[in-house]
Amino acid sequence: MTTVPRSPAAGLQGSRCSGCSVATYPADDACPRCGGPADPAVLQGAGTLWTWTVQRYAPKSPPYEIPPGGFEPFAVGYVELAEGVRVAAVLDVDDLNEVRIGMPLTVTAGQGVPRARPAAEGESGSEEGS
């Protein structure tokens, strides 16, 4: 069975250079560092918040679809994964005032852009090689 690259079941579909081992997201056939060939790789998804902002107005439609309850501000940011890749993601947090650079997050694939949520107790966004 083949998975759709942006489906949650497929994980974060990135790539890794077969020459210099640099990882990228989304997947690419060539390495952005050395130009060599890159192979598909599923990225771990554990990382820390590198930077963020709050989207305080509704994005343009399409592709944005206004939810039934109306637009509510939401956070978006870059999460730096253990592999060194920075992934843009919507931050699924309960309180926008609790968002902090360096907070541990878990990134998952979804429809559109990836989603990031605070790491559960015991998960660490900064562990290398886990």
Q: Tens digits of per-residue pLDDT, 69-94?
A: 999 999 999 999 999 999 999 999 99
Q: What is the pLDDT of residue 129?
A: 38
Average pLDDT, the chain: 86
| Range of weakest confidence among 61-75, 93-107, 115-129 | 115-129
Number of H helices and E strands in the chain, helices first, is 0, 8
Report the chain's terminal Cα–Cα distance, integer Å: 27
Strands 46-55 and 38-43: unpaired
Split at pLDDT 50, 70, 90, the class of 3 is: very low
Residue with tokens 């907070």: 103
Q: What is the pLDDT of residue 111?
A: 75
Mean pLDDT of 108-120: 88
Instruction: Extract the tokens encoding 81.
Output: 């994964």
Instruction: Extract the tokens encoding 43.
Output: 């990225």
Split at pLDDT 50, 70, 90, the class of 130 is: very low
Whole-prediction pTM value? Answer: 0.80
Sign, CA torsion 98/8/14/125: positive
User: Are the beta carbons of 84 and 43 closer than 8 angstroms?
Assistant: no
Strands 23-24 and 38-43: unpaired
Percent of the chain at pLDDT exceeding 90: 70
Q: What is the pLDDT of residue 14?
A: 94
Q: Which carries the bigger pLDDT value, residue 25 or residue 125?
A: 25
User: Are the beta carbons of 75 and 48 closer than 8 angstroms?
Assistant: no
